[in-house]
Amino acid sequence: MGTKDTDLSNTESNTTTSDSEVKPNIAFIGLGNMGAPMAENLLKAGYTLSVYDLSADATQRLEQAGASVADSPKSAASNAQVVISMLPAGKHVHSVYLGDSGDNGLLAELPKGTLVIDSSTIAAADARLVAEAASKFDIDFLDAPVSGGTGGAIAGSLTFIVGGSAEAFAKAEPILAVMGKNIFHAGEHGAGQVAKICNNMLLGILMAGTAEAINLGVKNGLDPKVLSDIMLQSSGRNWTLEVYNPYPKVLENVPSSNGYKGGFMSKLMQKDLNLAMQTAKDTDVETPMGAKATELYEAHARDNGDRDFSSIMAHHDHSVLS
């Protein structure tokens, strides 16, 4: 139980690059829409990967790309100095690392000094719980949620928002740099998750507000493009107007001009808003605008969960879906 020592820079079986930099072996757990392309980018950069997912389809894709497939998280990590996970939600992260009794998960099996990077979006409180358990086994844990969606995962241009010790962050940075363009150290354990949900709460508010403003203009006879251009040059300017307009055909190459397909699903926005609300409640912080955006997305995601989150436009004007 956590008795072997691991050294990220000194393992005989690790891959050595031409400039004699030693790359740690990586176990990658969770190979879905985000995890699979992230793992593929690590393989392309020359890392040796052992992967695990509950879905055989997911692991097959990575096997073809050059990873070895393991039949459990423990066996994926058996020769790894770094573990990365990209799982749906907090309960999956708990189950992998803590097991069903809290101390019979992967953490209990890893050698001391293993670096664990969890990039799933989960509650900050859940991330802190896993970090605390990890520290009991002398394992470095980082919460490292991402922004940038599946496009960013494929392009290797994600933003990583990391919480944990400066030492662990320094070890993780070169690995994260393979999968992302901007790597931020937000603070101690949980800080990555807090920063991520603050950003996504604001994004949900901005998207809901932009859709509401455009709808008000359109219902009063304005052309959505003319109104958007005016607001873009005025004080209502924001990211959603600039690069992600929710009204169809105002911008090209955005989900609203493509039947709200692709992009960032409404159900994922709903999940992140719920995490923001949970954090606000746990810490007794008022978030009235976030609460309203959560209410809107909860109602919207019931029938539109798989549509891009800009489809909140349909809450005001159902005709945009046709």
Residues tagged active-site = 196
Q: Is 95 in the site for ligand NAD (CB under 6 A)?
A: yes
Q: Is 80 in the site for ligand NAD (CB under 6 A)?
A: no
Q: Which of 6, 120, 193, 304 binds ligand NAD (CB under 6 A)?
A: 120
Binding mask 19-58 for ligand NAD (x = CB under 6 A): ----------xxxxxxx----------------xxxx--x
Q: Which residues contact 204 (CB under 8 A, 6 or more apart)?
A: 269, 272, 273, 290, 293, 294, 297, 309
The answer to whether the CB of 58 falls within 8 A of the CB of 31 is yes
> Residue 41, class by beta-carbon neighbours within 10 Å (0-12 exposed, 13-18 middle, 19+ buried)?
buried
Q: Which residues contact 286 (CB under 8 A, 6 or more apart)?
A: 280
Maximum C-alpha span of the chain: 70
d(CA 60, CA 57): 5
d(CA 277, CA 299): 16
Q: Which of 169, 264, 297, 309 binds ligand NAD (CB under 6 A)?
A: 264
Q: Which of 8, 117, 208, 268 binds ligand NAD (CB under 6 A)?
A: 268
Q: Is 15 in the site for ligand NAD (CB under 6 A)?
A: no
Residue with token string 């573990």: 83
The answer to whether the CB of 275 falls within 8 A of the CB of 123 is yes
Q: Is 86 in the site for ligand NAD (CB under 6 A)?
A: yes
For residue 193, the minimal CB distance to ligand NAD (Å) is 10
d(CA 186, CA 265): 25
Q: Which of 27, 83, 96, 175 binds ligand NAD (CB under 6 A)?
A: 96
- Tell me whether residue 189 or residue 271 sits nearer to ligand NAD (CB atom): 271
For residue 38, the minimal CB distance to ligand NAD (Å) is 9
- Tell me whether residue 266 or residue 287 sits nearer to ligand NAD (CB atom): 266
Query: Which residues form the interface with ligand NAD (CB under 6 A)?
Result: 29-35, 52-55, 58, 86-88, 92, 95-96, 120-121, 146, 149-150, 264, 268, 271
